[in-house]
Structure 1
Amino acid sequence: MTDFSLSKTYSPLSSAELIAKEKSMMDAARFEHCIGVSQTARKLAQLNGYDEDKAALAGFIHDYAKQVDNSEFEAVIKSENFDPDLLNWNRAIWHGIVGVYFIERDLKITDPEILQAIRRHTTADTEMTTLDKIVFVADFIEPGRSFPGVEEARKVSFANLDQGVAYELSHTLEFLIAKRARIYPKTIAAYNVWAAE
């Protein structure tokens, strides 16, 4: 089980309270995914000279709002003055960008670096901090993932975090294009930057 004994640094909630709140927001499979992302984020932080505890916490809470009801997302977008264009998208985009509202409200986490990493984990961005990249990549390669190419993604990401970001963006765009799905503009812009790295 993941322990966030240092969660007090970022939230007034105890480790046990934070874990309980997270568990109450999602099904068992999603909770296991969050544990896997947390563990992978810790490993990536260690490899990249970043604060392991902060990365592990960000990884753990990245999907806090993933299973929030669509109507609740829509209400928050309207009431909290988010970009109205978000209403043209869906939970895949919302749970990162709008998800930070629920994290601040429920988990009392206001650290700007953690919130930004969660905001960007669904879309990436043209400029990303080390923590942004860690959470983005850890979500993609955590041990529960089993898509074709995941072992290559892990190998690339553990060797070079920037190349891991590029690999993930390329793979994600291929997947979305194959499904003829709409692609969030920021993700295309991110790909154009990171693919050239």
Structure 2
Amino acid sequence: MERDQMIESVKAQMPEKRWKHTEGVMATAVQLAVRFGENPEQAELAAILHDVAKYWPVDRMEKVLRDQKLAPELLAQDKNLWHAEVGAWVAEHEYGVTDALVLDAIRFHTSGRLAMTRLDKVVCLADYMEPGRDFPGVDDIRRLSKDSLEQALLAGFDSTILLLLKKGKAIFPLTIEARNGLIEELKTGG
């Protein structure tokens, strides 16, 4: 599918405010990709599709997760996590994306994962800090992103974890693993 067709299709599946967010993620992902030596075309493609399933009805997402036998552990987690896994499936099966790196960047843009690729980090961080985001600590994340993808993403995970703790919500184990993996990367310089 051509880029413009894809954009129109994705835009039609979400409210205008979420589309503005997606545009912000697209621009930010490209900037981060260039800054940190990642492929900007892959970053933009993952950003275009990262929230494609975000506004699907919960029962539709659940049907895809169950029918396609995708990440069964997600069914026991907060439904806000479902759209990333479903979105990766949609990107592949409805939009024809075959690039495994792009699909994984979509899949893990909400939770992170252990041993994140640089593209995973770029898309996840872009989602945290696109210009429309406004939450306590976002300016620190943006400042950190000038020099370190890992430091900025660590600050993003910290803000999410603190928010979930304050709300008394469960923390998805992949997010803890992603955070711990970033700490290890920063310690070892790798």
Question: How high is the TM-score relative to the length of structure 2?
Answer: 0.92
> Which residue number in structure 2 is paired with residue 136 of structure 1?
124
Q: How many percent of aligned residue pairs carry the same amino acid?
A: 36
| Alignment match of 1:26 (pick from 11, 14, 25) | 14
After the TM superposition, which segments of 4 or more aligned residues of structure 1 sit over 4 Å from their partners?
A: none
Query: Which residue type is aligned with residue 64 of structure 2?
Result: V
| d(CA) in 1 for partners of 2:70, 2:38 | 30
**After superposition, what is the alpha-carbon deviation per residue over 1:141-187, rounded to whole angstroms, capped at 9, x for unaligned?**
00000111211110101211011111111111011101111111111
> Which residue number in structure 2 is paired with residue 9 of structure 1?
none
> Which residue number in structure 2 is paired with residue 38 of structure 1?
26
Structure 2 portions without partners, runs of 5+ = none
| d(CA) in 1 for partners of 2:94, 2:23 | 19
1:16 aligns with 2:4: yes
| d(CA) in 2 for partners of 1:77, 1:160 | 34
1:190 aligns with 2:178: yes
What is the aligned length?
Answer: 185
Worse-superposed segment, 69-78 or 51-60 = 51-60
Q: Check conservation: 2:141, 2:153, Cα contact below 8 A.
A: no
Question: Counterpart of 1:159 in 2: which secondary structure?
Answer: coil
Q: Structure 1 residue 16: deviation in Å? A: 2.1
Q: Check conservation: 1:66, 1:91, Cα contact below 8 A.
A: no
Query: Which residue type is aligned with residue 44 of structure 2?
Result: A
| d(CA) in 1 for partners of 2:60, 2:91 | 14
